[in-house]
Amino acid sequence: MAERLDMRQADFDARFAALLTAKREVAQDVDAAVAEIVADVRARGDAALIDYTRRFDRHEVAADGLAVTPEEIDAAVASCDAALLDALTLAAERIEAYHGRQRPEDGRVTDKSGVETGHRWTAVDAAGLYVPGGTAAYPSSVLMNAIPAKVAGVERLVIAVPAPDGVLNPHVLVAARIAGVDEIYRVGGAQAIAALAHGTRTIAPVAKIVGPGNAYVAAAKRRVFGTVGIDMIAGPSEVLVLADGANDPSWIAADLLAQAEHDASAQSILITDDADFADAVERAVDSQLETLPRAEIAGASWRDYGAVIVAPALGDAIGLVDRLAPEHLEIAARDAEELAARVRNAGAIFLGAYTPEAVGDYVGGPNHVLPTARSARFASGLNVLDFMKRTSILRCDAAALGEIGGAAITLARAEGLEAHARSVGIRINTA
Q: Is 77 in the site for its own copies (CB under 8 A)?
A: no
* H helix count then E strand count, the chain: 17, 14
Binding mask 182-201 for its own copies (x = CB under 8 A): --------------------
Residue 361 in marked binding region: yes
Q: Which residues does 92 contact at the CB level (< 8 Å), separation at least 6? A: 143, 147, 175, 178, 179
Q: Is 405 in the site for its own copies (CB under 8 A)?
A: yes
Let me know: does 220 contact 228? Beta carbons within 8 Å. no
Which one, 81 or 286, has the nearer CB to its own copies?
Answer: 81
Q: Is 62 in the site for its own copies (CB under 8 A)?
A: no
Segment 6-35, which members bind its own copies (CB under 8 A)?
A: none
Q: Is 408 in the site for its own copies (CB under 8 A)?
A: yes
Which one, 314 or 396, has the nearer CB to its own copies?
Answer: 396
One-character DSSP codes across 8-74: TSTTHHHHHHHHHH---SPPP--HHHHHHHHHHHHHHTHHHHHHHHHHHH-----GGGSBPPHHHHH
Q: Which residues does 131 contact at the CB level (< 8 Å), separation at least 6? A: 137, 141, 142, 159, 160, 161, 172, 211
Distance (Å) of CA 317 to CA 201, 311, 323, 393: 55, 6, 10, 45
Between CA 255 and CA 112 the distance in angstroms is 56
3-state helix, strand, coil in the chain (%, to 5): 50, 15, 35
Q: Which of 43, 84, 246, 275 binds its own copies (CB under 8 A)?
A: 84
Which one, 338 or 418, has the nearer CB to its own copies?
Answer: 418
Q: Is 115 in the site for its own copies (CB under 8 A)?
A: yes
DSSP type of residue 228: B
Segment 210-229, which members bind its own copies (CB under 8 A)?
A: 226, 228-229
Q: Indicate the angle between helix axes 82-100 and 139-152, nearest 10 degrees.
A: 40
State yes or no: is 368 an active-site residue. no
CB atoms within 10 A of CB 8: 10
Specify the stretch interacting with its own copies by CB under 8 A; choose among 48-56, 91-99, 183-191, 304-312: 91-99
Q: How far is the CB of 65 from its own copies (least distance, A)?
A: 27
Q: Which of 23, 83, 290, 313 binds its own copies (CB under 8 A)?
A: 83
Between CA 19 and CA 4 the distance in angstroms is 11
| Of 327, 330, 357, 368, catalytic | 327
Q: Indicate the angle between helix axes 398-414 and 418-430, nearest 10 degrees.
A: 150
Let me know: does 102 contact 130? Beta carbons within 8 Å. no
DSSP type of residue 181: -
Size of the site for its own copies (CB under 8 A): 124
State yes or no: is 337 an active-site residue. no
Amino acid at 270: L
Specify the stretch interacting with its own copies by CB under 8 A; choose among 47-55, 156-164, 307-315, 414-422: 414-422
Segment 291-320, which members bind its own copies (CB under 8 A)?
A: 292-294, 298
The per-residue b/e assignment along 183-194, b for 16 or more CB within 10 angstroms, e otherwise, is bbbbbbbbbbbb
Q: Is 202 in the site for its own copies (CB under 8 A)?
A: no
Between CA 11 and CA 389 the distance in angstroms is 47
Q: Is 87 in the site for its own copies (CB under 8 A)?
A: yes
Between CA 338 and CA 317 the distance in angstroms is 13
Q: How far is the CB of 381 from its own copies (least distance, A)?
A: 6
Q: How far is the CB of 214 from its own copies (least distance, A)?
A: 17
Which one, 317 or 370, has the nearer CB to its own copies?
Answer: 370
Segment 116-145, which members bind its own copies (CB under 8 A)?
A: 116-117, 119-120, 122, 124-125, 135, 138-140
Residue 191 in marked binding region: yes
Amino acid at 364: G
| Of 282, 328, 330, 357, catalytic | 328
Specify the stretch interacting with its own copies by CB under 8 A; choose among 1-9, 78-86, 156-164, 303-311: 78-86
Q: Which of 22, 90, 246, 275 binds its own copies (CB under 8 A)?
A: 90
Q: Is 157 in the site for its own copies (CB under 8 A)?
A: no
Residue 119 in marked binding region: no
Which one, 86 or 335, has the nearer CB to its own copies?
Answer: 86
Binding mask 326-365 for its own copies (x = CB under 8 A): --------------x--xxxxxxxxxxxxxxxxxxxxxxx
Segment 245-264, which members bind its own copies (CB under 8 A)?
A: 248, 250-251, 254-255, 257-258, 260-262
Residue 392 in marked binding region: no
Residue 237 in marked binding region: yes
Let me know: does 38 contact 190? Beta carbons within 8 Å. yes
Which residues define the annotated binding site for Zn(2+)? 259, 262, 361, 420
Which residues define the annotated binding site for substrate? 237, 259, 262, 328, 361, 415, 420
**Which residues are catalytically annotated?**
327-328
